[in-house]
């Protein structure tokens, strides 16, 4: 009887650990901002020079968002806001006004859909 109880407790502990790991993976996945640059270039009508510049800025934005994924509480929120503002500042320099408005719309939609805003 004692062995059965120990086995049950061990199985419960393993199941709990597995669910906790899944939740952490799902939470981190929301911060993964990798996108298909070809689709973004088509959506924003980017020229060749803009594609390279946007790819570089977006790479940095993705790294900043993944760093925010590891932060806790208010630090996470502040890091997200800082990453978004930095991204928008750089994109405003690269894109013209109509492209920038469309980019802001796409970014806001993405952040809302992922529950980050």
Distance of alpha carbon 61 from the chain centroid: 9
pTM: predicted TM-score of the whole model, two decimal places: 0.71
Confidence bin at 40 (pLDDT 50/70/90)? confident
CA distance 39 to 44: 9
The domains of the chain are located at 31-113
**Residues 6 or more apart in contact with residue 58 via CB below 8 angstroms:** 33, 35, 37, 40, 87
Does residue 8 register a pLDDT over 80? no
| Residue showing tokens 């805003």 | 117
* Share of residues in the chain with pLDDT > 90 (%): 38
Instruction: Tell me the angle at which helices 97-113 and 37-44 cross, rounded to the nearest 10 degrees.
Output: 130
| pLDDT one-digit tens code per residue, 43-92 | 999 999 999 999 999 899 988 988 888 888 788 889 989 999 999 999 99
* Mean pLDDT of the residues in the chain: 80
**How many alpha carbons lie under 13 Å from residue 76 in its C-beta half-sphere?**
12
Among the listed residues 85, 92, 49, the one whose alpha carbon sits nearest the alpha carbon of residue 64: 85
The token pair that represents 50 in the structure block: 């803009």
Nearest Cα residue to 80 out of 90, 70, 89: 70
What pLDDT band is residue 14 in, cutting at 50, 70 and 90? low
Cβ burial of 95 (10 Å; 0-12, 13-18, 19+) is buried
């Amino acid at each position: 009887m004692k062995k059965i109880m120990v086995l049950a407790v061990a199985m419960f502990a393993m199941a709990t650990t597995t669910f906790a790991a899944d939740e952490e993976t799902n939470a981190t996945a929301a911060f993964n901002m990798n996108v298909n640059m070809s689709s973004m270039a088509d959506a924003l009508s980017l020229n060749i020079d803009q594609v390279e510049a946007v790819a570089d800025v977006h790479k940095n934005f993705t790294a900043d968002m993944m760093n925010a994924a590891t932060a806790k509480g208010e630090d996470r929120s502040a890091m997200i806001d800082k990453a978004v503002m930095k991204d928008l500042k750089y994109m405003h320099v690269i894109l013209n006004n109509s492209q920038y408005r469309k980019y802001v719309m796409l970014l806001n939609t993405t952040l809302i859909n992922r529950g980050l805003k």
